[in-house]
Amino acid sequence: MPAMTILTLSTAPRLRTALLAYATVLFLSPLGLGRAQEVLTVQEVLADPALFHLRQVTLKGTVRQVQPLDPYEIPAGSTCYGGYLFNLEDDTATLPVAVPGLCGVPMVKDPEVEDGTRVVVEATIQAPSHGGYALSFKGSKIAMDQEGIVQAIVNRITPLVE
């Protein structure tokens, strides 16, 4: 029969300390995950897009040339609605940004932003030469490798209140 560990008065404080430390780590971990990423300039991303490929970045700038997309179909066969494109302009450069539509749910939805809006964008960068497709301003997919497009795919947009 295996030996049993008996909780005694001498081991209770150590157990309590260990549990408190464990609870503290569990409680504080989500706070650390929620911290804001360093804001990059558009030029930093464009200077070495391969470094940022499929990485989430935070960018700040002004929305330009908002272009709602017609409904489009993804390879899985679902039709997506409410997607749109815009350019994000900061003091260093301009980057094409895509906001994917909601797939499988027919709807009419206006873009969340308009020309001239100052925003913080959390997005995943898609760099050329890695395969895949990008959404175009024509409302269709284009092969990224052929076009050499660096594009940000939005995860979250937050308007800046200045």
Report pLDDT for 128: 80
Architecture of the domain whose range is 39-159: Beta Barrel (2.40)
* Predicted confidence band of residue 2 (pLDDT cuts 50, 70, 90): low
- Give the number of other CB atoms < 10 A from CB of residue 152: 24
User: pLDDT tens digits for 80-133?
Assistant: 999 999 999 999 999 999 999 999 988 888 899 999 999 999 999 998 875 555
d(CA 66, CA 73): 20
Distances (CA, A) of 40 to 84, 90, 92, 117: 23, 10, 10, 18
User: Which 3 state secondary structure label does DSSP give 104?
Assistant: coil
Task: Enumerate the domain spans of the chain.
Answer: 39-159
Report pLDDT for 25: 37
Q: Which of 57-66, 67-76, 103-112, 134-143 has the lowest mean pLDDT?
A: 134-143
* More reliable by pLDDT, 82 or 31: 82
Question: H helices of the chain, where?
Answer: 12-33, 42-47, 49-52, 144-147
Share of the chain above pLDDT 90, in %: 51
User: Which 3 state secondary structure label does DSSP give 46?
Assistant: helix
Report pLDDT for 31: 39
Q: For residues 136-149, give the mean pLDDT.
A: 51
Q: Are strands 56-68 and 39-40 parallel, antiparallel or unpaired?
A: parallel
